[in-house]
Structure 1
């Protein structure tokens, strides 16, 4: 009876509840972005460390030389010129599938360690971009990607529009993009590569907004710590993949070759 006579009691309670949700959601999203940022730092360090071991400026220490003058050490020749490169390229994919199928049954600490291992392997795989593009253009493209990613993720977080239909369309486009990339491994067509890169930028730009909205909607105030952590890790993985792919496709357009 007191609540019926005093509407401010219900209103105050609702405001308190909404505030707690907002605070919890903010902390959850911050954790997602922090995990993603940590993954990007690990990728960058792994890439820089790998290329430092794989290349040399000393001709006496080189075992191979690329057409652009880059000299490779034994590590570089093995990593970039042997079947090992396929192992390095496919190993992250295996970790992603493992996380996707086992995420509900592994501890959050284990899932986080797997995510960081995945980020390190991606860095080793991406180290080859330093053999093709100038360091300045790589850094420039990274900051352009970061700016675009931030704007798109902010849109996904704040928009009231339901992006589910767009996400389904983008997922279909992603499947087509992967097939085109596989075909171009054999064709080596520059025109097809241009089209793939342009479409790839658009697809992962859209997925950045869509994934951000989906991650936000996954938050549930009554989740226990373990469940919330697993959701944050998988959310960080999704955004990390959006960022890395958008960066690589943009590099095709913006990168200056050695």
Structure 2
């Protein structure tokens, strides 16, 4: 005879999923908060600006230093390392690496944020939060299986990266606009897709394994953090007012 889960077991699983997703959003928010705090601290400190960036005294333009390029590669290394090793590393290590990445990202994003007015950065952040929240809720509640979106969105993401590299040489404003519009669509889709994938992860994570749950929440936080940041940057290119 088939065995069915009791109401108590079903309720416990639902509680685990809810706690898992709260952990994902909580750590993602902590990462975003640290990114914003570091970016603000750097912009307010002449010493830090001179330490990490090349500032033109005549125009005030901010350029990347060799150290910042090194930090950018370090960020990529952290993301790939977390993705590859998170299932075996200690939860505290995974958490520390995620927060380290978030802090470094706040530093390396500083020149981009300085290129726009503070008002447009703030308003774009609010718009990003609203769009991200809407698509993430859709990913949580929809009954539609979004698995088929994965390969299409990944191919679109690769195409965007290639187009951005090409436009570094072409410097086409029309192409930059198209990249930003398509980028917004892709990262909105990824937000819904990744959220549903994380919900499924929460439904299958071992209920009594706190280490596995923490590692899963950190991986989920990193995934949604990247969706949010990239969506924000694409919208900033579209909506931001330059200094």
Q: Following the alignment from structure 1 to structure 2, what is the Cα–Cα distance between the partners of residues 195 and 66?
A: 33
Q: Which gives a bigger RCO, structure 1 or 2 (Cα 8 Å, sep 6+)?
A: 2
Q: Following the alignment from structure 2 to structure 1, what is the Cα–Cα distance between the partners of residues 173 and 58?
A: 20
Q: Following the alignment from structure 1 to structure 2, what is the Cα–Cα distance between the partners of residues 43 and 63?
A: 21
Superposed CA offset, 1:78-112 (max 9, x none)? xx343333223222111101111211221010000
Which residue does 1:7 correspond to in 2? none
TM-score by length of 1: 0.85
Q: Following the alignment from structure 1 to structure 2, what is the Cα–Cα distance between the partners of residues 143 and 234?
A: 24
Number of aligned residues? 235
Determine helix, strand or coil for the equivalent of 1:65: coil
Are residue 141 (structure 1) and residue 127 (structure 2) matched?
Answer: no
Are residue 255 (structure 1) and residue 240 (structure 2) matched?
Answer: yes
Gaps of 5+ in 1: 1-9, 57-61
Task: Answer whether contact 1:149 1:208 (CA < 8 A) is retained.
Answer: yes
Q: Following the alignment from structure 1 to structure 2, what is the Cα–Cα distance between the partners of residues 168 and 111?
A: 27
Bigger-Rg structure (1/2)? 1
Which residue does 1:28 correspond to in 2? 20
Alpha-carbon offset, residue 54 of structure 1: 4.4
TM-score by length of 2: 0.90
Alpha-carbon offset, residue 22 of structure 1: 1.0
Which residue does 1:216 correspond to in 2? 199
Superposed CA offset, 1:16-41 (max 9, x none)? 22211111110110000000000000
The worse-fitting range, judged by mean Cα deviation, of 177-186 and 140-149 is 177-186
Q: Following the alignment from structure 1 to structure 2, what is the Cα–Cα distance between the partners of residues 54 and 175?
A: 37
Please give the root-mean-square deviation of Cα atoms over the aligned residues, in Å: 2.2
Gaps of 5+ in 2: 49-53
Runs of 4+ in 1 over 6 A off after TM superposition: none
The worse-fitting range, judged by mean Cα deviation, of 209-218 and 83-92 is 83-92
